[in-house]
Structure 1
Amino acid sequence: MKVLVINGPNMNLLGEREPEVYGKMTLAELERLIRAEAESMGIEVSFVQSNSESVLLSAIHEARKNFDGILINPGSFTHYSVAIADALRAVKVPTVEVHISNIFAREGFRAKSVTGRAARGVITGFGPESYILGLQALARITRE
């Protein structure tokens, strides 16, 4: 099984940006954590991070050819990117959306997930563990 892990805007600043909200783990450390868990599950993972919506859209489009699942943290695109939601629907690759913070416990505008409507499920608020839970969910979904 192959999973594409997509991280959106500002995720490259993990560990620096609002550590009281997102924690002190860097993106590189998060990717190592995900890779280790994936390997223990027999899953191959690849990572994409971009602050550009067009780069993320291209990654989603390419995923339909090479991946069995998508694990996505769209970052701030979560709240308004119809383009990302449409791309996720179009490629028909099982997708789980994840968030480090609980988007429903934050500012009102963050409680809306446009992209989550295109995912099989959304896991939010468990810190880096959200990614592990999402990976486990994808493994189950693809076995159905």
Structure 2
Amino acid sequence: MTDTVFVLNGPNLNLLGQREPEIYGHQTLADIEEMLAQQAEELGLAISFHQTNHEGQLIDWLHDANRQEARAVLLNAAAYTHTSIALLDAIKAIEVPVIEVHLSDPETREEFRHLSYVGMAAADCVKGLGARSYSVALEKAAAL
């Protein structure tokens, strides 16, 4: 196992800070990446931070994390959380623990967001803390 934590972000998260800030906050994904890089250094970890709007790319990065024997994956699959059996299968196929991350709490939102395919295989979940959800998830990854 390496000391690298993959931080994978799904569709529309590139628009953080401008997309529905009343739900997702005003911080950008770059702000979150900078915050995590600093925190990772303090924890003696490295992060590999990525964002894509494409489901298959997330799956490829999950496979990469496994091949590289990453410590963990922090996965904010965004809308794919609720739709992607392919992501569920990819998480089940790898040995690296996946921590599901959400800025908001999906269970307090629209009913279709209550189902999490990611959560069916994730080792843990951090939700509803805004950008701090990532920070708490990184602390959990460090404790593994």
User: Aligned runs of 1:74-85 on 2, under 5 Å?
Assistant: 74-85=77-88
* Higher fraction of helix: 1
Distance in 1 (alpha carbons) for counterparts of 2:89 and 2:137: 20
1:87 paired with 2:87, answer no
Question: How far is 1:94 from its partner?
Answer: 1.0
Equivalent-residue separation in structure 2 for 1:115 and 1:136 (angstroms) = 20
Offset of 1:92 from its aligned partner? 1.3
- Quote the residue 2:124 is aligned against: 121
TM-score, normalised to structure 1, is: 0.95
Percent identity at matched positions?
43
- Alignment RMSD (CA, Å): 0.8
Query: Aligned pair 1:6/2:14, yes or no?
Result: no
Shift of 1:77: 0.3
Unmatched 5+ residue regions in structure 2?
A: none
Give SS of 1:98's match: strand
Q: Please state how far the C-alpha of 1:90 moved relative to its aligned partner.
A: 0.5
TM norm structure 2: 0.95
Shift of 1:89: 1.1
2:103 is matched with 100
Moved over 2 A (4+): none
Q: Deviations over 1:76-106 (max 9, x none)?
A: 0000111011101101101100100011111
State the SS of the aligned residue for 2:143.
helix
Residue 116 of structure 1, CA deviation: 1.0
Match of 1:44 among 46, 49, 58: 46
Per-residue displacement from partner, 1:30-87 (whole Å, max 9, x unpaired)? 1001111111101100111000001111111111121121000000000011101110
